[in-house]
A and B are shown apart, each in its own frame.
Chain A
Amino acid sequence: MLQIEIDNLNKHYGGFHALKNIDIAIRNGSFVALVGPSGCGKSTLLRTLAGLEKTSSGDIRIAGTSVIAKPPRERDVAMVFQSYALYPHMDVEHNMNYSMRLKRRPRPEIAARTRAAAETLGLGGLLDRLPKALSGGQRQRVAMGRAIVRNPKVFLFDEPLSNLDAALRVHMRSEIRKLHERLEATSVYVTHDQVEAMTMADHIVVMRLGVVEQQGSPLDLYDKPANKFVAGFIGSPAMNFIPVVVGPDGQSLVIEQDLAQPLVLNRKLNPGSRLWAGLRPEHLSFAPVKGDLALNADVESVESTGSMTFVTAGVASQQLVVAHSGRPGVERGAVIRLHISLENIHLFDRETELAVSG
């Protein structure tokens, strides 16, 4: 069953076209990440879902009914703001139960639901604190608590973790994910961090410049990026791109401006077409793999995180980043053999940047 349907949605800020023909369908209970670079319209889309922004055209349906003409409070959605937007003059308890007090719920119910949410989020001892007496992580939890007590149809998150330090961010990711599994409420989660999107969501919508570039499951986007932008955006470190030209046989890729040996693929391509060859850092290795092709490369830099090592290797005039788990034992300035797993090469048209199959 579909919980949220966004149909051909457009949003203009004066002359600026912020959202262009957005079509998204979100299943009941799923966790959807809206991801894309800063300024691509993620927050705008989330806010139009909440009803905080007016739409220019198109339709939004929540649980089957159009909410386009409804004010935020009639949409039954809860939102966690990036800034948390806590009420500064209310203590934690009153921040969380404001919505219930507005609805004049019976006192025992308010108390019980507030206590339950506080317990879930580990805020039990903080109920009478003002927001200014809380740490960033605690404020974030209060903001979530305020959403949870309402038991809404849809949870909206706008970069809720971006103001936390790295360790807490990783911890909260799994907390939010666990919470989602418990509450089973549909969630839309905005982030500019593709790792966050990949680890938390079961459906990812990649946006750029107000357009949905691609949507699908995390591994779908990783394995079958529809265009060069998605290929470069999903995955860390980012995919390497080399300009290539298809040779007359329709199978070999000649690296442009280089006389190095061509990459011969078992695919049917248009001879002479100009493409980007996309190689994920983890599909390059220093040891032979099945169906690979080896090139000579100069080691230009070596960065190790301990468990992973990232090597920048120069192949002719191109630079390729290689991700190696463990310590490869190569040194800067060395000349090595770089093995490319040919079946994992992604190809994109250099004009349209769309994925090319063959």
Chain B
Amino acid sequence: MQGIIRTIRDGSGFDILLLLLALVYLVAFSAFPIIYNIIMSLQTVDMFTIASFDRPFVGLKNYYDILSQPLASTIFWNTVKFVVLSIVFQLSIGFGLALFFQQDFPGATWLRGLFLAGWIMPALVVGAIWKWLLAGDFGVINYILMSSGVTDERIFWLSDPDVALYAVIIANVWLGIPFNMLLLSVGLAGIPRDVYEAAELDGAGAFERFRSITLPLMRAQLGAVISLGVIFTLQQFDLIAALTQGGPANSSNVAQYWSWQLSFQTYEISLGSAVSVMMILFVIVVAAVYVRSTHHEHSY
């Protein structure tokens, strides 16, 4: 007993203890749910069999069933649009703002702080606010668009199947901008000013400096922001729940929300699991890209 206490206090025992704690945590809260999820996606799980582990094994049948549903292609393309458009706009606006705040002007820090508002607010609250902004009859957005003459008619952002997905994307872009801006600001601040000055003396104009200095030096940060953005966007649930619940008629439904609906609304739990397993596979690929992109960090 004395010996054990001593190894824990003085020897390698303490390191092992810390390692074990982390391992136990990972197994209990990450590995187990993921594996359990994968197993469920290979079984038939419904309301009646959910309590027991002894369920019929059906192989890839759930995957086949889910992919052959007519809804699957709608959901797939919605998800692609949701992720791609969200990332493109979050990234370009976030990068633009980061570059803008990189210029030293009075109040820059103060203004930049304001942009973080979106980040500290719960997505559910953001969803509620956007629901007001986007409301068809009394929403601010419609008011602005109509009084400035951009459109003559009200746009029913959340109830028109043609625009509902884009309404959710707009709100999600707003939500993601601060994260993009902040991470890219950190990267920009890390590029020494004299590197730009050297380029200026070498004859590079502002655009050329951006193209041949900023972009390549920001490669690691851009990779990180894009891959994390993809992961966060695939996790975005609250906003959809608050704004459209995937509706109307699944026009704004995306994979993560569908998976939840299958599992917890219609109790087709094995189908919901199959959707989430496919998402996990995709996220693993993205995470691998992220890890690789961090290898490109430059030291100055």
Contacts and interface: CB of A to CB of B under 8 A. Distances in A.
Given A73-B204, A73-B205, A88-B298, A81 B217 contact: no
Contacts of B203: 73, 99, 102-103
Interface string A206-240: 00000000000000000000000000000000000
* B interface bracket (residues with beta carbon within 8 Å of A): 20 to 34
Contact of B199 (A50, A71, A87, A132): A87
A40 interface: no
Contacts of A99: 202-203
A88 B297 CA distance: 10
Interface string B122-166: 000000000000000000000000000000000000000000000
Interface string B180-202: 00000000000010110111111
Interface centre among A52, A88, A102, A146 (most CB of B within 10 A): A88
| Chain B interface main SS type | helix
B298 to A, nearest CB: 4
Contact of A85 (B194, B205, B212, B216): B194
Interface residues of A, number: 22
Contacts of A204: none
Interface string A63-88: 00000000111000111010101111
B105 interface: no
B195 A88 contact: yes
A72 B208 contact: no
B300 interface: yes
B279 interface: no
A171 interface: no
B298 A132 contact: yes
A146 B205 contact: no
A357 B217 CA distance: 60
Contacts of B200: 52, 71-73
B213 interface: yes
Contacts of A86: 195, 198
Nearest to A150: B202
B204 A52 contact: no
Contacts of A71: 200
B196 to A, nearest CB: 9
Contacts of A87: 195, 198-199, 213
Contacts of A73: 200-205
B197 A52 contact: yes
Contacts of B201: 50, 52, 72-73, 77-79
Contacts of A286: none
A85 B208 contact: no
Contacts of A88: 195, 217, 298-300
Contacts of B204: 73, 98, 102
B298 A85 contact: no
A89 interface: yes
Given A73-B205, A89-B217, A102-B204, A81 B298 contact: no
A85 B202 contact: no
Interface string A85-121: 1111100000000110011000000000000000000
Interface in A142-192: 146, 150
Nearest to B297: A88
Interface in A30-75: 50, 52, 71-73
Given A81-B194, A83-B194, A88-B195, A146 B217 contact: no
A71 B203 CA distance: 10
A102 B299 contact: no
Interface of A: 50, 52, 71-73, 77-79, 81, 83, 85-89, 98-99, 102-103, 132, 146, 150
Given A72-B197, A102-B202, 10 more contacts: A52-B201, A71-B200, A72-B200, A73-B201, A81-B197, A83-B194, A85-B192, A85-B198, A88-B217, A99-B203
Interface of B: 192, 194-195, 197-205, 208, 212-213, 216-217, 219, 298-300
11 contacts: A71-B200, A72-B197, A73-B200, A81-B197, A81-B198, A85-B192, A85-B195, A88-B217, A89-B217, A99-B203, A102-B204
